Chains A and B, each alone.
Chain A
Amino acid sequence: MKQRIHYRELEGGIGFWVLLAGFGVLIALGLASVHYMETYGHWVTGMTNQVVWGIPHVFAVFLIVAASGVLNTASVASVFARTPYKPLAPLSGLLSITLLIGGLAVLVLDLGHSDRILVAMTHYNFRSIFAWNIFLYIGFMLVVAIYLWFNMERRMNRYIRPVGFVAFVWRITLTTGTGSIFGFLIARDAYDSALMGPMFVIMSFSFGLAIYILVLMSSYAGSGRPLGDATLRRLKNLLGVFIAAVLYFLAIFHLTNLYWAQHVGVEEFILFGGNVYTWLFWGGQVLLGGLVPLALLYSPATGNSRFWIAVSSVLVILGGLALVYVIIIGGQAYPLDLFPGKAVSSTFYDGVINTYTPSLPEILLGISGIAISLAATMVAIKFLPFLPVSLKDEVVEPPATPPAPATAEAHA
């Protein structure tokens, strides 16, 4: 017999409000940092004329990429019609909007002229992938909002699949666009690759799902609602596939560059330079953000443990931040090659490895982006019925009639 899924606003006790207040403090600190940077100028940050995008962009790009990826569960439910994912879809859609808002907030607040946001909304240069992204971001939020409406409004449920399909195509386009911001930078050896678009898509799958798992687990643990093992098992298996896919794309990306004489310099700098980027890449992304969570998620000893699934998700997020740091900061740290075959020097730091040390205001601004995303999510699930009352295995995937034990195995 089919059981209906019941959604309800989060109950939330004192812990909820304390956590929300904590995020509020982080947001306030971020805004104070913005005021400080806007008043004195960007020289108070670690950013320079050499490294023009700093740690705020790392957080912003990470959140924007994750925003697209967190829609995974909704896409699996609507586009691929997998019933067990349907109860997970509303939170998935909600997070995709809130993460995008958090990422865009950081991006906008780091502009030299944040006050000209209306200019950015009214002047467009359609040759710029950046301009296209503005459309993609705004459109994404609209499409997902419609998706959520159709999902939560029973009369509109029948149209959910086409809207889900549009959202799916939109998110792939959006993340390809975000990756292409770097891929289209022909002058910089660290970027300039068509692989950036698809690599960002697969990165989004991994980062977004890790965030989704953590938010889901903490929401249900915090509110005392039941969360079945089968749901978590499905998600963690999917996460494992995405982690492996990110490693695959990274391998292809770097191997291709190593084969190309022009890019060997930057590859040696990142992969074997013995600098912070080398450590973040091998230690942060490949080991802690890739191989370790893969082992944890698929090892029989840890793969079914909620604790280790949560640890794996945290590692994927930290590894993701490390990867984005290497891409954005590492790519700028390596100097432009104006005159191939010649050593170049000047008073403008030509030909030298550029240094970058994140300043406290930048870090606070970046963290405030995460706080904005999570605070908005908390408020939404507190006042709107995004979360199912129960995600017990038998509720998420009721046994078919007559019961067939092999079915449950297949879905797992």
Chain B
Amino acid sequence: MSKQPEENTLAAPERARRRFLTQVAAVTGAALAPGMVLFEVSQARALDQPVSGKVRWGMLVDTTKCTRGCDLCVKACDKENGIHSHGRPETDSQWIRKIRLRDLHTGYVQFLPMLCQHCKYAPCVDVCPVGASFRRADGIVLVNRHICIGCRYCMMACPYKARSFVSEPLHDQVPWSPRGMGTVEACTFCVHRVDRGHKPACVDACAADGPGALVFGDMKDPGSKIAKMLAKEQSSEVRADLKLDTGVRYHGI
């Protein structure tokens, strides 16, 4: 009440100056806000800068939200990475899959997505004879398709059955996610998106049209959503007995 008269008492040039400053602040804020959000995801690493070990990308799967029949994450992954079925499910690649769990004693049924767990102590990285399987400093486990010899030892070693072997010629590849016949592949956490400040395709799809069961972010940043949720809620690793320190954690199992 008291400010209104004061505003009205200002001279016309002063009011114009204040309006201008307000508009500038609004435009600046609108321009910066998405950047600030992205900052949380990417830590604003420039593409020409090396990956930092100060970041540990991770995913939290809330299995209590993951629903029967929903495969938005799988479809988004396939579309994003140019994965097509050849009509041969035994040799078709699957980077992410929906798993149905049924407790043998109680009959309780759950659903969850299974993908590369981006382990800190990744068995696939350990066993690869040529070092094609590798782990980036920020925790993302990848396959260098230029030197992968296709021995499949990593597939034998992965406890999560997260890797696929490309068993036939490929068509309709997407340029940002190159693949190759005769090499092994797996979920990359959509590294091409993460490096540009976006989230993996599955996470975005689940948030946009699904139950929002997937949270992605920097587990080392205490201010990130994933770190806060991990600190607040129960979560566990699959095959935690192997002590692989996975980058994918599950809530509700």
Seen from chain A, the residues whose Cβ lies within 8 Å of a Cβ on chain B are: 38, 40-43, 47-50, 52-53, 111-113, 116-117, 119-120, 123-125, 127-131, 133-134, 181, 184-188, 332, 336, 338-339, 341-350
Mask of B128-148 contacts with A, CB within 8 angstroms, 1/0: 111110000000000000011
The reply to whether B90 and A41 contact each other, CB–CB distance below 8 Å, is: no
Please, which residues of chain A bring their CB within 8 A of the CB of B165?
Answer: 42, 47, 49, 52, 112
Q: Which 3 A-B pairs have the closest CB atoms?
A: A112-B150, A112-B182, A187-B159
Please, which residues of chain A bring their CB within 8 A of the CB of B157?
Answer: 184-187
The reply to whether A112 and B130 contact each other, CB–CB distance below 8 Å, is: no
Complex alpha-carbon distance, A123 and B239, angstroms = 31
Give min CB distance, A115 to chain B, whole Å: 9
Complex alpha-carbon distance, A48 and B131, angstroms = 23
Seen from chain B, the residues whose Cβ lies within 8 Å of a Cβ on chain A are: 86, 88-94, 97-105, 114, 123, 125-132, 147-153, 155-161, 163-169, 181-184, 238-239, 242, 253
Q: Which of B86, B91, B103 makes the CB contact (< 8 A) with A341? A: B103
Please, which residues of chain A bring their CB within 8 A of the CB of B184?
Answer: 112
Cross-chain pairs A/B with CB under 8 angstroms, 19 sampled: A41-B166, A49-B165, A52-B165, A112-B151, A120-B129, A123-B132, A124-B129, A128-B127, A130-B128, A131-B130, A184-B157, A185-B157, A187-B159, A332-B156, A336-B160, A342-B102, A342-B103, A343-B102, A348-B114
Q: Which of A42, A117, A184, A345 makes the CB contact (< 8 A) with B91? A: A42
The reply to whether A187 and B158 contact each other, CB–CB distance below 8 Å, is: yes
Give min CB distance, A380 to chain B, whole Å: 29
Given A43-B86, A48-B91, A187-B239, CB of A348 within 8 Å of CB of B161: yes
Given A181-B153, A347-B89, A348-B94, CB of A123 within 8 Å of CB of B161: no
Which secondary structure dominates chain B's binding surface? loop
Complex alpha-carbon distance, A332 and B161, angstroms = 11
Complex alpha-carbon distance, A119 and B144, angstroms = 12
Q: Which of A113, A187, A342 makes the CB contact (< 8 A) with B150? A: A113
Given A38-B182, A43-B168: 6 more A-B contacts, CB < 8 Å = A48-B90, A111-B151, A123-B132, A338-B238, A342-B103, A342-B104
The reply to whether A187 and B242 contact each other, CB–CB distance below 8 Å, is: yes
Please, which residues of chain A bring their CB within 8 A of the CB of B181?
Answer: 41, 112
The reply to whether A338 and B103 contact each other, CB–CB distance below 8 Å, is: no
Task: Output the nearest chain A residue to B152 by Cβ-Cβ distance.
Answer: A52
Which secondary structure dominates chain A's binding surface? loop
Please, which residues of chain B bring their CB within 8 A of the CB of A348?
Answer: 94, 97, 114, 161
Please, which residues of chain A bring their CB within 8 A of the CB of B114?
Answer: 338, 346, 348, 350
Task: Output the nearest chain A residue to B113 by Cβ-Cβ distance.
Answer: A346
Complex alpha-carbon distance, A225 and B155, angstroms = 50
The reply to whether A112 and B88 contact each other, CB–CB distance below 8 Å, is: no
Please, which residues of chain A bring their CB within 8 A of the CB of B103?
Answer: 341-342
Please, which residues of chain B bring their CB within 8 A of the CB of A133?
Answer: 129
The reply to whether B168 and A40 contact each other, CB–CB distance below 8 Å, is: yes
Please, which residues of chain B bring their CB within 8 A of the CB of A42?
Answer: 91, 165, 167-168, 182
Complex alpha-carbon distance, A134 and B129, angstroms = 9
Task: Output the nearest chain A residue to B96 by Cβ-Cβ distance.
Answer: A348
The reply to whether B156 and A343 contact each other, CB–CB distance below 8 Å, is: no
Please, which residues of chain B bring their CB within 8 A of the CB of A347?
Answer: 89, 94, 97-98
Give min CB distance, A389 to chain B, whole Å: 44
Complex alpha-carbon distance, A119 and B130, angstroms = 7
Given A50-B90, A347-B89, CB of A41 within 8 Å of CB of B169: yes
Please, which residues of chain A bring their CB within 8 A of the CB of B126?
Answer: 125, 127-128
A119, A120, A338, A346: residue with the most chain B Cβ atoms closer than 10 Å: A346
The reply to whether A346 and B98 contact each other, CB–CB distance below 8 Å, is: yes
The reply to whether A336 and B99 contact each other, CB–CB distance below 8 Å, is: no
The reply to whether A112 and B242 contact each other, CB–CB distance below 8 Å, is: no
B94, B99, B168: residue with the most chain A Cβ atoms closer than 10 Å: B99
The reply to whether A53 and B129 contact each other, CB–CB distance below 8 Å, is: no
Given A49-B91, A120-B129, A188-B156, CB of A346 within 8 Å of CB of B99: yes
Complex alpha-carbon distance, A47 and B86, angstroms = 15
Given A41-B181, A123-B130, CB of A116 within 8 Å of CB of B149: yes
The reply to whether A344 and B149 contact each other, CB–CB distance below 8 Å, is: no
Complex alpha-carbon distance, A50 and B183, angstroms = 15
The reply to whether A41 and B129 contact each other, CB–CB distance below 8 Å, is: no
Task: Output the nearest chain A residue to B253 by Cβ-Cβ distance.
Answer: A339
